[in-house]
Amino acid sequence: MKFFVALVVLTMSASSYAGAAIGIAELKNSKLTFDGLGPLRIGMTLKAVQAAGIALEMDGDASNPCRTARLKVNQEISLMFEKGILTLVEISGPSISTHGGIRVGFTEAQIREVYGSRVVVAPYDGGHYMKIFSLDGKRALVFETYGAKVNNFRSGDLVDAQLSEGCS
């Protein structure tokens, strides 16, 4: 009997989750963290993202093990999936901030002010990669700057977050 009750509760939870569409307002109020962006969690499957009602515009060939996608509700948010698993969330516009409040357009000085000595800087094509690593060393938050201002930023698995060209 306990198994049946647990199965009913689990089924009800899963069906209500699958039917709940994630809207632009929920994502706008979310902050990018080492774990993802609001309901978009690093480690989710592509199917789970789609089941949550998040409409995607997928790039690339479906047979490619690494694919990127943009959210239809906010083209500033890109996702990278490897073998169907979400490994990276990238932000290319000012509508979303990090957990520390940094947005596209902020300065390198503001990044240093928020993240302090945790910032690791590497030169990049007229700008910098400003990296902050999670305490467990498994994930990274990376800001790309040009002219000392944030052009875009991303968070995800350690290796993927440090790639400048996504799946390329």
Q: Are 153 and 98 in contact (CB under 8 A)?
A: yes
The identity of residue 12, as a single letter, is M
Domains of the chain, CATH where assigned: 21-161 (2.60.460)
Residues 6 or more apart in contact with residue 17 via CB below 8 angstroms:
51, 52
**Region 73-80 average pLDDT:** 92
| d(C-alpha 143, C-alpha 91), whole Å | 10
Query: What pLDDT sits at residue 24?
Result: 54
Give percent of the chain with pLDDT exceeding 90: 64
Q: Is the pLDDT of residue 77 over 90?
A: yes
pLDDT at 6: 36
